[in-house]
Amino acid sequence: MSQFSSYEDLFKPKTSALIVWDVQNMLVQHIFNKEQFINSLNNLINSARSLNIPIFYTKITPLPERFESPIRKFLISIWNRGGSWGSDPNLYELAVKPEKNEIVINKNTASIFVGTNFELMIRNAGITTLVFTGIATEIGVESSARDAFNLGFLPVIAEDAVSSSDKESHERSLANMRKIFVVMKSDEIIRYWNKAKGL
């Protein structure tokens, strides 16, 4: 029999983790739905904390300039709206603050699985369901969700807690992900977490 027979099985807090993807100052300031995004994200974070669900924050972390990809340096300069590479460290700071028991993953790619120990950590902890939030929907969120699925995890996309500076790209990405992943609003995810907390 399958391990998963209902959404309650999917959302068991003891086998879930919340991913807060690249919610950094340089990205938050340019998204199309900042107030709604931050509100939904904070609701998920608070719920995860109350249920002892692990929270992982990712952070774009440039390599030393000599060893950084020229393509990534160019793209970061665009995101910085013309600022030089690494000119303002505050741009890289997280816009939501982790608590001391929460994990910040410094990474250099658009996948949480590439160049990090994330997969090792969640397999060690018996985590199978990954709830994705963050910026940008069509870049790191979708890339990480696809990698999660291909590695045997169950990605869930919190549709009102992901965002982008490009609303059309965000909506196309959500439409793509609905075809293969669970995509639902944050209050639905919280409701399932609460229903499944005794399982």
Residues 175, 150 contacting (CB under 8 angstroms): no
Q: Is the separation of the CB atoms in 48 and 20 below 8 Å?
A: no
Q: Give the separation between CA 139 and CA 15, rounded to whole angstroms.
A: 25
Residue scoring higher pLDDT (69 or 30): 30
Contact assessment for residue 57 and residue 98, using Cβ atoms and an 8 Å cutoff: yes
Give me the CATH topology for the region 7-196: Rossmann fold (3.40.50)
Q: How far is CA 180 from CA 29, 43, 156, 177, 183, in A?
A: 30, 25, 10, 6, 9
> Is 2's pLDDT higher than 50?
no
Measured between alpha carbons, how far is 125 from 146 in angstroms, rounded to an integer?
21
Q: What is the pLDDT of residue 194?
A: 94
Specify the pTM.
0.90
Give per-residue burial for 145-184: e unless 16+ CB within 10 Å, then b: bbbbeeeebbbbbbbbbbbbebeeebeebbeebeeebbbb
- pLDDT of 13 higher than 70: yes
Q: Closest by alpha carbon to 162, among 140, 137, 190?
A: 137
Q: pLDDT of 48-88, one tens digit each?
A: 999 999 999 999 887 887 888 888 777 767 765 544 445 56
pLDDT at 91: 78
Check residue 96 and report its DSSP letter.
S
How would residue 112 be classed by pLDDT, with cut points 50, 70 and 90? very high
Q: Across all residues in the chain, what is the average pLDDT?
A: 90
Per-residue pLDDT, averaged over 96-120, amounts to 95
Domain ranges, ordered by start, for the chain: 7-196
